[in-house]
Structure formats: C-alpha cells, structure tokens
Structure 1
C-alpha cells in the first residue's frame, strides 16, 4: 500500500538499468503521442536498445527515481526517470576555423537538451519530481552549461507551470501543421545530392586528434602512465581515413566500465575502444551514424561486468551477416548482433 512517508532517492542510471527503464520510457512515449498526434510511435520499436545507446553516449544521462519497497530491506523500485544530454554548439578547439561559413550567426551555447521526464502516476508528487529535476540541474551546473532547453506540448500546462517554478521561462512558441501522407506515395528525396551540390566529393577531409575528457567532470583523461589520451581518427589497413556517409572522419568509441562509468584500459595501459562495425559495403551506419560493436557482459556476484577472454582481452559482439557479407538489420534498419 502506498503511503506518503515512503523514502525516495535519485541516482544516475547505468547500462545495466536499461531494461528496467523501458516500461517508463514506453509510457512517456505513449503519453507524448496522446498530446501530439503528429508524433507517432514506430511499430515494434526497440526501447531497450535506444536507452542502452543513450546511456553509452558520453554526455547523455538518465536520472532515476527510486522508492524503498519496505523499511526492513535495501530493495528499491525504479518509478521515474529524467533523461538529458549535453552538447556544445561550438566546435572542439582542435577544429576551430574549419568550415566557418557553415556556423550559425549566433554565439554558440553550451546546452542541456531534455529528452523527457516521466514518473509513475502513483508516485507523481511535487517532491519526487523535484528530486529528478534537481539532479539534472545539478549536472547541468556541474558541466557549466549556458542553457537548458525543454520542448513541451501546448497541452501540458502542468509541466509548463512546473518548469516556471524551477526558473524556466518561455523562450519560443512552436507551431506545427501535420500532413497525412500515404505510405505508398512516391516521396521526393530530402537528402542532399553530394554530386550535384557543388561540393567536391574527393575533397580532402580534415581530421584532428581530440583529447579525451572525463564525462563526469570534463577533465582530461590520462592513461596509467599519466599521459593525456588523444582520440585519433580511425583508419583502414591502408592507412586511409574511415569517413561517414557525410564525409566526416570517424573517431573511436571508448569503452566504459558499468559500475564506475570510467574509461577502460587494457593490461598494457592502452585505452580500450569498441570496434567500428563494417561489412562488405564498408562502415555500417544507422540513421547516418556509424555503428560500433557493443561490448559483451557476464554475471559476476550478481553484477554485470565486461567480458574478457583468458588472456584478458575484452570481447565484443559480432554482427549477424547474410550470405553476401552484409550486416543483417531489423525492420527499422538497426544492425543485428549475434546473441
């Protein structure tokens, strides 16, 4: 039975929490479609994979609301979540001056973009909402962002009042007009044609080393020898840059420890990175983003830990490929990995 004196707490989620978060995020998405008919859910959407992906992004965070199940144990239930990711509109210092003509005329911001907030209705109270919001705001202040952006439906007046109580102001009003288009209709492409855009397809790609920073405090990451880690763009066996379909160099995806969220180094003190996913056609992408092979996990004392072979080498999932050597994909286009 629910009572008002139950103890609630807030913490950061890890990849191990992804499956538990799924019902909450599904409820959030369904609620979103109810207030905005233009936002329709994809059939069979893999929420767990989406949440896992978000949790592995360097500046993406899920704050969880937990409630104690009883006073005699430490068991807790996750009953709410607040998702936010942070980004800098300015390019990294190493890339300043490149493609200046593409930059916005406005001063770049350091932004916290809210993905969503959802709390189970039985636990939706002012102090539980405040726990999650305060956690996200504290992280925003820690990362020294200049702005936190939240997109709210016009019908969500309660959320608007909540934001105003936390110091948010209405900065814009967005209008939408929805068009119903038949699935069978032949649609003109909205993807730019590189060959006819005036951009030389063989223009030299500028790639720079990027210093790796701690996702918690943005400090430079050092290896066990005290040396600053720099991410180098990935190259193939011939030493040529691997680039995305948009022509940008692809950088390694460092491996994180589930418990500490720290970067992982091997026995030789080298940073461990996830292999970029490739097949017979080259680098595999999803929604225009190069994909990487996820790490494998195993159980150890009821905890999930990164899996290693007998030599201490970290292991990663292999993609499922068809007879032609192409990576198999789910109905919505995501690469499929072997179980």
Structure 2
C-alpha cells in the first residue's frame, strides 16, 4: 500500500487529536521548558485550528489511517491601519508575508524521507499559492535528519535558539502587559484615519478620487465605542486573499469585519483588545476566495 497526502477537514478532528498530543509530548521531551497543560482538550484545539482562516492541515494516510500531519498558518507582518494610527513603534524591517509551521508529526513506524516529503511539498505548494515571501519553522537541534531534508528543499539555517527555564513561585508577579496608556501613545486625528494600500502604503482613493478613511465605531447615540483601555475601536478592513487589496462592495463602501459581541451584546475582548468576526473563505475554481450569501453579501464567522 502507498501513502496518501490530503488536506484535513473537521471530520478528521478526532483522528488528528491523539497525533497532536504525541507531537506535544515529543516537543516537551526535546525542550522541558515547554511545559504541557494538564487535561488539555486536543480535539477542541484541532477544531479551532481547522476553522481559522489561512490555517491549513495536511494529513499523511496509510491504509486509510491517519499516521501524520503538518499544520501551517499564513500571516502578513504588516500591521493593520488602526495600529499604525496609534503611532506604535514600527518594526525597522520590511514586513513579510509569512508561512509558519504550527506543528508536524509522523508516527515513528512511518517516518521516512518519502513520507515526510509528501507533507512538506504540500505545505510549500500552499505557501507558493498564497504568495508568501518567507517560510519560517523551528526544528529541534537533535532532529538532524529533518535538517538535512529541509536543506535539500532549499531552506537555510538562519538562527540557533537557546533556552533557560526558571521555576517561578508565588502569585505576586510583575505585570508584563502594559496598557497603551502606559506607552504614552497619542492618537493623531482619531476621528479619521486614511486607509493605505497594504503593498505600497499609499493612501487609498475611491472611484471619485476621494481619500478613503477609517472611522471609529459608534453606538446608537453616535458616540465612539471604546475598549476597556479607553481607546476608540476602529473596524478591520477585509482583504482579498489573492490580491491582498482592500475589498469594496458594489456601492463603493469599504467592507469591514463586524465587531464580536457576546450573548449580552457586550464587545468581546482578549487581553484588552477588541475581537472581530473574521470573514469566511471557500475555494472557487481552485482558488481561496471570500464567501458570499445568495444576495452577494460577505459572510463572517459568528
């Protein structure tokens, strides 16, 4: 019997979960500073990864049994426009379009260059399809076989990582999450932020030649919505997954992600950062595209 590589689906979650647990345990053996959470729900974690936009799982099958996986996610290092508007310190490096490896594991009986090749080739093909500029991955120092295999694929060794673990006791720990106010960030012209092209960083204009601005979200009374940190909440514009350009609807209005709310209607936050409902993607003619309903409206995750 030969090995088969295919894309993971939600129906594979229960089969992937024990493999992911084995991967985590192997990661801990290589680096004991990466301590494992007790009673971690691996099925829920795999489901979360498979539902994330621009996150992909590639599976290795043998006699209809899943014996390995490789998960990747794609992201753009360029900050969203509302972050730039807060005058945060900019990275001195040119933002990259990155393909990152979330995890790879193949059962020991099936570990050989030909099987691992199937997973790596599929991941590289997806990264090339989405036009990433760089692929980043972290490999344990003792995995010399994987080092050699990656070098045959054209990867180069860019860095060596050292770790040192400290056992911390007690609950009175210094806060390592300063608020934006602690950084003394001023917001210039907070009511209007000019939208910039994600590739050229030039100000975007509509069909009438007018500058396109992002405006803070408002409540029914027209007052700005603010986060728990007291900052106005700006919407997140939607990009086309192929061109990476901002999306405008038929009326010329900028398409933005709706803010996420809980059952009480309160804005959901994570570490003080407002959360948004992300767009749903599907494949059209073999290419990743934004999903629409029967009326042509873009669909966002609940």
Matched, 1:244 2:275: no
Q: What is aligned with 1:112?
A: 99
**Following the alignment from structure 2 to structure 1, what is the Cα–Cα distance between the partners of residues 175 and 83?**
32
The answer on 1:9 being equivalent to 2:37 is no
Quickly say closer, same or farther: Cα 1:222–1:120, change in 2 above 3 A: same
Q: How many angstroms apart in 1 are the aligned matches of 2:78 and 2:247? A: 24
The aligned counterpart of 1:207 is 235
- Pick closer, same or farther for the CA change 1:175–1:262 going to 2, 3 Å: same
2:70 to 68, 73, 82: 82
Distance apart, 1:197 and its partner CA: 4.3
- Indicate how the Cα distance of structure 1 residues 46 and 158 shifts in structure 2: closer, same or farther if over 3 A, else same: same
- Shift of residue 155, structure 1, vs aligned partner: 2.2
Question: Distance between the aligned counterparts of 1:86 and 1:175, measured in 2?
Answer: 26
Alignment of 1:122-161 (within 5 A): 122-161=109-148
Unmatched tracts of structure 1, length 5 or more: 1-5, 70-75, 276-339
Q: Provide the aligned length of Structure 1 versus Structure 2.
A: 255
Match of 2:155 in 1: 168
Offset at residue 142 of structure 1 (A): 1.0
Whether 2:193 is the aligned partner of 1:198: answer: no
Contact 2:260/2:276 (CA < 8 Å) preserved in 1?
A: no
Matches of 1:108 and 1:170, distance apart in 2: 20
**CA, structure 1 residues 263+211, in 2 after alignment: closer, same or farther (shift >3 Å)?**
closer
Secondary structure of 1:112's aligned partner: strand
- 1:29-80 deviations in Å (ceiling 9; x for gaps): 110011111111100001111111111111111110112x2xxxxxx11111
CA distance in 2, matches of 1:273, 1:31: 36
Tell me the distance in 2 between the aligned counterparts of 1:241 and 1:160.
Answer: 48
Backbone CA RMSD of aligned residues: 3.5
Output aligned runs, 1:231-310, within 5 Å. 231-234=256-259, 242=267, 244=269, 248-255=273-280, 265-275=292-302
For normalisation by structure 2, the TM-score amounts to: 0.71
In structure 1, C-alpha distance between the alignment counterparts of 2:231 and 2:16, rounded to whole Å: 44
In the alignment, the residues of structure 2 paired with residue 156 and residue 144 of structure 1 have an alpha-carbon distance, to the nearest angstrom, of 28
Checking the alignment, whether the CA contact within 8 Å between 1:232 and 1:251 is kept in structure 2 is yes
Q: Structure 1: how far apart are the matches of 2:294 and 2:175?
A: 49
Alignment-derived partner of residue 309 in structure 1: none
Contact 1:113–1:148 (8 Å) recurs in 2:
yes
Q: Distance in 1 between matches of 2:164 and 2:59?
A: 34
Answer whether contact 2:235 2:259 (CA < 8 A) is retained. Answer: no
If asked which structure has higher relative contact order (CA below 8 Å, sep 6+), I would say: 2
Q: SS at the partner of 2:118?
A: helix
Cα 1:245/1:18, change in 2 over 3 Å: closer
Shift of 1:222: 9.1
